[in-house]
Amino acid sequence: MRVVSWNIHWGCGKDGRIRIHAIIDVLRKLNADIICLQEVASNHPELAGSASANQFRQLAGAFGGYHSVIEPTSELYQNNLPRQFGNLLLSKYRMTQVHRHLLPWPPDPSSPAGMPRGLIETVLDAPAGKLRVLTTHLEYYSQLQRAAQVRQLKYLHWEACERAKIFQPDPTLDAPFQLGFRPGSAIFCGDFNMTPGSPEYQDMLAPGEGASLPLIDAWSATHPNAKHAPTAGLHGFDWPEKPDTYDYFFVTDDLAPRVTSMEVMSETAASDHQPIVLDLT
């Protein structure tokens, strides 16, 4: 099973032009079973390169054999038309549940910039059994907001693990209540806007309470003696000032023995971030 996560920078390459077809070409070559994308835009002509097209529709249409979940965490309206920006998840595997979580956005007087942030959570019938795949894009400008969002991720993980422990199917319930089993086993991925060793990174890996399955950084698990490879700053974009790591896969420890590789695809300059790829048996 292969999972790809990529902040696509609304398809804007280092030349300032939007080429969604270049994003699609890279994704097709990577041949993933699950694709998790951040910074997908629709009707945002003011963004660099003019992101006026509906990229959610373009990307979902290019992968017609996949099930799609969109989550425009920023949704503004101009002349009653939505201007959307957020996350997209595509899966070859059957989905049994989808949850869209709005993450905390506490006021931070020291950082007036920012936008609402969210999390897509899916329950998938993967070849080795049910698991959750979750993708997000956390706040960049405010450490206070980012820390609150990490705490919410950990709470939602605790909630899922605790609910999995007590789950009992009840066929007498009406259809909207028939959500089925939501497993603790999970893959969290995306642009976390934190660097290795930061307080938020340590919070992601801190032991949870109760039935929470511990989370493990898939890069550290597969490269125990290597520094995190940079996931942004490789191809001369205005941001960041130097190469660094912002994008991650965190997996529950029960999945760790199945992880065969986690790599950063450093070649493409189609975005200011690089695709990251997780392979599991």
In sequence order, what DSSP letters do the residues of 232-244 get, joined into one string? BS-S--SS-SS-B
How many domains in the chain? 1
The β-bridge relationship of strands 215-217 and 186-191 is unpaired
Q: What is the CA radius of gyration of the chain?
A: 18
Element (H, E) at 150: helix 143-166
Q: Which residues contact 145 (CB under 8 A, 6 or more apart)?
A: 104, 105, 106, 108, 111, 114, 117, 139
**Residue 68 pLDDT > 90, yes or no?**
yes
Q: How far apart are CA 122 and CA 91, in angstroms?
A: 9
Read off the pLDDT of residues 3-35 as tens digits, 9 standing for 90 and up: 999 999 999 998 999 999 999 999 999 999 999
Beta bridge partners of 126: 129
Split at pLDDT 50, 70, 90, the class of 136 is very high
Q: In which domain, by residue range, is 73 found?
A: 2-280
Q: Which residues of 132-158 are buried (b: 16+ CB within 10 A; e: fewer)?
A: bbbbbbbbbebbbbbbbbbebbbebbb
Give the distance between the most distant pair of CA atoms in the chain. Answer: 59
Split at pLDDT 50, 70, 90, the class of 113 is confident
> For position 178, what pLDDT does the model report?
87
Beta bridge partners of 41: 85
Average pLDDT, the chain: 96
The CATH number for 61's domain is 3.60.10.10
Q: How far apart are CA 236 and CA 34, in angstroms?
A: 29
Read off the pLDDT of residues 162-177 as tens digits, 9 standing for 90 and up: 999 999 988 899 989 8
**Residue 95 pLDDT > 90, yes or no?**
yes
pLDDT average, residue stretch 90-100:
97
Residue 133: how many CA atoms within 13 Å on its side-chain side?
Answer: 29
**Residue 222 pLDDT > 90, yes or no?**
yes
pLDDT average, residue stretch 260-276:
98
CA 241, 243, 246, 247 dihedral sign is: positive
> For position 211, what pLDDT does the model report?
82
Query: How many CB atoms are closer than 10 A to CB 210?
Result: 9
pLDDT average, residue stretch 213-224:
97
Q: How far apart are CA 113 and CA 241, in angstroms?
A: 19
Q: How far apart are CA 236 and CA 1, in angstroms?
A: 32
Q: How far apart are CA 197 and CA 227, in angstroms?
A: 11
Answer whether 89's CB lies under 8 Å from 34's CB. yes
Read off the pLDDT of residues 151-163 as tens digits, 9 standing for 90 and up: 999 999 999 999 9
**Residue 179 pLDDT > 90, yes or no?**
no
